[in-house]
Structure 1
Amino acid sequence: MGIGDIVNQGKEFLEQNKDKIDDALHSEQAESISDKVLDGAADFAKKVAPDSVDGKIDELRGQADAAVGTE
């Protein structure tokens, strides 16, 4: 089995389970987990990046949060 076969199996899995995956990504559990991960990533980025980009980090964090979970 080559890489192409694995990729094709992944595509098939995603297509067959699209509704279940969408439901999982927009669940309360996904919201809770994503909030923790996004908060941690944003806090880290703010520590290593110049203060002048804090607003952009917050904006990107908000966009990512809107794509996962319920809020």
Structure 2
Amino acid sequence: MSLMDKVKNLLGQHGDKVEEAIEKAGDMADRKTGGKYSGQIDTAQEQARRFVERSGGEGEPEDRGSPGGADPMGGGRPS
């Protein structure tokens, strides 16, 4: 079993906890930098969430506040 297979397996089992950790880490980084890099931190959190979703994490993909509801990766919001 490759490393990526192991990661996908773990994300499938613990995706909710990974999502929680992503949120907490981003919030902590935002506090430590005094909000100076909020946009970049939010982008990193979103990219991490998308990786989890693509790799077998639990839950459905969500639009988490991208401008205008558009998906920055080229997709749109479901109708």
Please give the TM-score of this superposition, normalised by the length of structure 2: 0.54
Q: Hey, what's the Cα distance between the residues in 2 that align with 1:51 and 1:23? A: 32
Q: Hey, what's the Cα distance between the residues in 1 that align with 2:50 and 2:26? A: 15
Which structure 1 residue ranges, 5 or more long, are not aligned?
1-16
- When the two structures are aligned, how many residues end up with a matched partner? 54
Structure richer in helix, relative to its length: 1
Aligned residue in 1 for 2:35 = 51
Q: What is the correspondence of 1:1-71 to structure 2 with a 5 Å cutoff?
A: 17-18=1-2, 20-27=5-12, 29-68=13-52, 69-70=57-58, 71=61
Shift of 1:25: 4.3
Question: Is the CA contact 2:26–2:41 (under 8 Å) kept in the aligned structure 1?
Answer: yes
CA RMSD of aligned residues (A): 2.1
4+ long deviations beyond 6 Å: none
Q: Which has the higher contact order (CA 8 A, sep 6+)?
A: 1
Which structure 2 residue ranges, 5 or more long, are not aligned?
62-79
Aligned pair in 2 of structure 1 residues 21, 52: CA closer, same or farther (>3 Å)? same
Please give the TM-score of this superposition, normalised by the length of structure 1: 0.59
- The percentage of aligned residue pairs carrying the same residue is 22
